[in-house]
Structure 1
Amino acid sequence: MKENYYLEPFIKKEDIQKKVKELGKMISEDYRGEELFLVGVLKGSWIFMADLVREIEVPLEVSFISVSSYVGETTKTSGVVRLLCDIDKPLSNKNVILVEDIVDTGLTLSYLKKLLEVRKPKSFKICALLDKPERRMADIKAEYVGFTIPDEFVVGYGLDYNGYFRNLPEISILRFK
């Protein structure tokens, strides 16, 4: 990647860890005595989901789904969501939580919610590490949210720019020079 950017620290690793523990505790309390089926949205949510499942204290299964709405080297969504890889198990009569890295325009989550709700889960909720309500274009809301953030392009802790920065342990704002 060309060196025409800099990273502005935004959310510290310790703050992320604390918030993930809180989300895991809330989910555990809400589903005490139940089983869960978590669906992670690839590729951005995998680090968050790995940490989150270790904080949830009820029996659970995991699967992943992959979609794309970005084209090429851009920080803007195309607005068109494409399903790249579907989950491999039925959802009928399961408590499903869709785990996402960030709720931005809401177009991807709106698409996924419709796609998964027709499979007749017992319940369906969304858990997102980050929520960017200023950018919302679809009427969608996550029931579990880690941080509400302003309209900035963020990377790290699974979030990327053109495949880079997922490995950063904190979340930073990507700035171009």
Structure 2
Amino acid sequence: MGALDDDIERVLFSEEEISRRVAQLASQITLDFDKNNTESPQPVVVVGVATGAFMFLADLVRNIKIPLAVDFIRAQSYGSGTVSSGAPTISSDFLKLDILGKHVLLVEDIVDTGNTLSSLIPHLKSKGASSISVCTLLDKPARRKVNFELVGEGKYYCGFECPDHFVVGYGFDMAELYRNLPYVGVLKPEMYK
């Protein structure tokens, strides 16, 4: 255990639990997209929401067994603090891949208020995606403020339902720290108050 571990109140999802669940999600995604892509197979475009989803996305795509392309988009609603500023800004849309007529899998670290997805999905739809699915590691339904609609035959994939705690690790941060922990843990309140 290192210095970062000392700031964790408890581990919510262990490295082993995350690994197992990511493999299950990837298997389901492979199955679903392989069925939907039989007439004229095209790579699925996996779009990661930077920066929080980078670890989850890397592990997920290594387990998906169909052709895919990867790109990133950045949406920001927290800045450097712990309180959401509300509606996110799409702070960089450098999608270098053309998603016109393609199936898009949007990969998020966490869905809580729904604000980020309610901004990103219409944005990607405006670029001509034929379907938009969402895969998130964590879902906090207790914090949902805004609903979002998937596009086409899009599906919603969720790793774990998360209680309403401030979590860090496995890509999740507090002021850009803790992303490198291999598990998802609850941060001690004194660390962010």
Instruction: Say which SS state the counterpart of residue 77 (structure 1) adopts.
Output: coil
Q: Residues 105 and 132 of structure 2 are in contact (CA less than 8 Å); yes or no, is this contact kept in structure 1? A: yes
Residue in 1 aligned with 2:74? 66
Q: How far did residue 80 of structure 1 move?
A: 2.8
CA distance in 1, matches of 2:87, 2:118: 12
CA distance in 1, matches of 2:111, 2:18: 16
Instruction: Say which SS state the counterpart of residue 19 (structure 1) adopts.
Output: helix
* 1:12-161 aligned within 5 A: 12-32=14-34, 33=38, 34=41, 35-72=43-80, 74-86=81-93, 87-140=95-148, 143-161=156-174
CA distance in 2, matches of 1:71, 1:99: 20
Q: Residues 101 and 159 of structure 1 are in contact (CA less than 8 Å); yes or no, is this contact kept in structure 2? A: yes
Q: Residues 110 and 138 of structure 1 are in contact (CA less than 8 Å); yes or no, is this contact kept in structure 2? A: yes
TM-score by length of 2: 0.85
CA distance in 2, matches of 1:13, 1:6: 15
Q: Residues 38 and 98 of structure 1 are in contact (CA less than 8 Å); yes or no, is this contact kept in structure 2? A: yes
Instruction: Say which SS state the counterpart of residue 70 (structure 1) adopts.
Output: coil
TM-score by length of 1: 0.93
| Bigger helix share | 2
Q: Residues 101 and 130 of structure 2 are in contact (CA less than 8 Å); yes or no, is this contact kept in structure 1? A: yes
CA distance in 2, matches of 1:42, 1:12: 22
| Bigger strand share | 1
Q: How far did residue 5 of structure 1 move?
A: 4.8
Could you give the per-residue CA deviations for residues 29-85 of structure 1, whole angstroms, max 9, x where no partner exists? 00114431000000000100000001100000000001111133x211010311221
Could you give the per-residue CA deviations for residues 84-120 of structure 1, whole angstroms, max 9, x where no partner exists? 2111222111110000000010101110011001112
Identity %: 40
**Alignment RMSD, CA only?**
1.9
